[in-house]
Structure 1
Amino acid sequence: MQMLRSFFLSPWSSAERLDGKTVVITGANTGIGKETAIDLAKRGAKVIIACRDMEKAEAAVKDVIESSGNENVLCMKLDLADSRSIKEFADAINKGEPKLNILINNAGVMVCPYGKTADGFEMQIGVNHLGHFLLTHLLIDLIKRSAPARIINVSSMAHSWGSINLEDINSENGYDKNKAYAQSKLANILFTSSLAKRLEGTGVTAYSLHPGVVQTDLWRHLNGPQQFFMKIISPFTKNSVQGAQTTIYCAVEPSLEKESGGYYSDCAPANCSAAGKDNDLAQKLWELSCRMLSITWE
């Protein structure tokens, strides 16, 4: 239903400018991240593309500059599967940037075979949740000093099939790649609501979103029947430009300045699952994340 609804919706658009603002987007070398970078660069922002593969990132920077006409676009190395890389990246931003107005936690891995990050976390929870949790923690003081500022976590409607296994978050007692993906996307929503509560009164707001069913190279790990299903529904799926719209909406829409912690889809507030609204679960996940990353985040 949601797919059909978005198919007939008139596209959201806004002439909002971001001159003098600085934006960091993770995983913006391709897909919706890259389209988001192009759009925000067109609005006059300084855009920093944070990626693991510097060759791809440099090619993306060229494309973004060409498409936006904004020369103030650069890339920096960030591997969300390695806390050392996250710390080095955050350190470089904290030392090199006087402000950070918008952080878009966009990068992600999807239904990949079982693997572990450099820190021993299951790859999907490690990259999609813990990597961005640590990154946000390390940049939060700079973001607060830059208020009004926004933090945007790209989740997915897949969160609604997920649950958080606090006892075995790394799926060591059995791995189902679809469940692990759904768990990581639910974690994005719970992180957003917890973060919003902690940021009340700071001028920093947080949002999570479902970009739509987007044709991206994240589909590469889908199995045969899943690939076939995606082919059938592809007329109703979004391309990367359409898929980026809700991220852009959360980044620039002026009416959201007074909103924080919500979940969005098709450039409008949306309903997340009951688990996504579970404050007790959100608090437990927050505490577990801090323990796993050995950080203290009041």
Structure 2
Amino acid sequence: MKTMLITGATSGIGLAAAHQLAAAGHHLLLVGRDHEKLAAATTSVRAVATADIDALPCDLSHLDEVRALADTVRARYDRLDVLANNAGGFFYHRTETPDGLEATFAVNHLAGFLLTELLLDLLRDSAPARILFTSSTMHHGASLHLDDPQLRHGYTGAGAYGRAKLANILYVRDLARRLSGTRVSANAFHPGVVATGIWDSAPWFARPALAVGKRLLMSTPEQGGRTLTYLAADPDVAAVSGCYFQRNRVTAPTPAAQDDAAATRLHRVCAELVGLPE
């Protein structure tokens, strides 16, 4: 039995993976921002579980809540085998979090970056351990815009989302280098185009087509969740690190996602944005 933390666990890929991992006997820490949804998700996962299922509320758009979550995990648990940074959001119009950060980058990358950095010592002490980021093929064609990290100029919802998912892949490459020899791996993955609530923020004119796409073309959350489950628990990938997966296979991301100099600069910018030492 392993102890696994999953953010974005109240719906979609996170909830589906939680059911799969709970049924396999793992101890899960489910993280969600909506208390009612988190309670409902925890109840549903406990129905199939053979180990403890704990609920940890946290709104990842608030950095203070991310810090408090890390404090809770360190104080309450003596080990953490898997950290799955799965929570995400799509913002069609530029939005800022209460911390004054561009919301797409804050929710899809900075929250996971901060949580990971704050839990690295616990993960090292729990080794072998795994760090996961739910990324996307939307990193194709994306740019980091590190000279304008708040995307105050030229914002588009798709561009901002792709940038955050590109950052996920670069960060796990950087983590894999930093964690070499510790038996803590870091990987990112594309779960497929999955019919989840992330599409609900699309503009009104796109919603009819998306509704059809959800029914006919997109994968189910259960199918998408299987990739998270595979990377969290399968022994075949225990030693794989710094990679990007599609359909449970290592896949080459774009050249921009393999730029180690950009990854180093990204780490520096993210650390500054969340108030961590570089």
- Common fold by TM > 0.5: yes
Which amino acid in structure 2 is aligned with residue 171 of structure 1?
Answer: L
CA RMSD after TM alignment: 1.4
CA displacement at 1:140 relative to structure 2: 0.7
Matched residue, 1:29: 10
Task: Pick which of 213-222 and 230-239 moved more.
Answer: 230-239
Matched residue, 2:113: 133
Spell out, residue by residue over 1:113-168, the C-alpha distance to the aligned partner (whole angstroms, 9 max, x if none).
22111221100001111111000011110011000000000001111131100111
CA distance in 2, matches of 1:233, 1:173: 31
Say if 1:25 and 1:33, in contact at 8 Å, map to a contact too: yes
Structure 2 residues not aligned, in runs of 5+: none
Percent identity of paired positions between Structure 1 and Structure 2: 35
Which amino acid in structure 2 is aligned with residue 28 of structure 1?
Answer: A
SS at structure 2 position matched to 1:244 = helix
CA displacement at 1:248 relative to structure 2: 1.1
Matched residue, 1:50: 31
CA displacement at 1:228 relative to structure 2: 4.3
2:41 to 57, 60, 63: 60
Which amino acid in structure 2 is aligned with residue 217 of structure 1?
Answer: G
Please state if 1:87 is matched with 2:67: yes
Matched residue, 2:272: 291
Say if 1:158 and 1:182, in contact at 8 Å, map to a contact too: yes
CA distance in 1, matches of 2:171, 2:16: 24
Q: 1:35 to 1:179 in 2, by over 3 A?
A: same
Matched residue, 1:261: 242
CA distance in 1, matches of 2:84, 2:259: 24
Q: How do 1:147-226 and structure 2 match up within 5 A?
A: 147-224=127-204, 226=206
CA distance in 1, matches of 2:42, 2:180: 34
Matched residue, 1:117: 97
Structure 1 residues not aligned, in runs of 5+: 1-18
Which amino acid in structure 2 is aligned with residue 268 of structure 1?
Answer: R
Say if 2:62 and 2:98, in contact at 8 Å, map to a contact too: yes
CA displacement at 1:217 relative to structure 2: 0.8
Q: Structure 1-normalised TM-score?
A: 0.89
Task: Pick which of 136-145 and 229-238 moved more.
Answer: 229-238
Which amino acid in structure 2 is aligned with residue 61 of structure 1?
Answer: T
CA distance in 2, matches of 1:40, 1:128: 23
Q: How do 1:242-253 and structure 2 match up within 5 A?
A: 242-253=223-234
Task: Pick which of 138-147 and 263-272 moved more.
Answer: 263-272
CA distance in 1, matches of 2:207, 2:258: 31
Say if 1:54 and 1:76, in contact at 8 Å, map to a contact too: no
1:107 to 87, 108, 116: 87
CA distance in 2, matches of 1:200, 1:78: 30
Say if 1:28 and 1:107, in contact at 8 Å, map to a contact too: yes
Say if 2:92 and 2:203, in contact at 8 Å, map to a contact too: no
Q: Structure 2-normalised TM-score?
A: 0.96
Which amino acid in structure 2 is aligned with residue 161 of structure 1?
Answer: G
Please state if 1:96 is matched with 2:76: yes
Task: Pick which of 223-232 and 213-222 moved more.
Answer: 223-232
CA distance in 2, matches of 1:70, 1:32: 21
CA distance in 1, matches of 2:128, 2:92: 37
Which amino acid in structure 1 is aligned with residue 220 of structure 2?
Answer: N
Which amino acid in structure 2 is aligned with residue 80 of structure 1?
Answer: L
CA displacement at 1:230 relative to structure 2: 3.2
Matched residue, 1:146: 126
CA distance in 2, matches of 1:223, 1:83: 28
Say if 2:81 and 2:127, in contact at 8 Å, map to a contact too: yes
Spell out, residue by residue over 1:63-82, the C-alpha distance to the aligned partner (whole angstroms, 9 max, x if none).
0011x233511111111111
Task: Pick which of 222-231 and 139-148 moved more.
Answer: 222-231
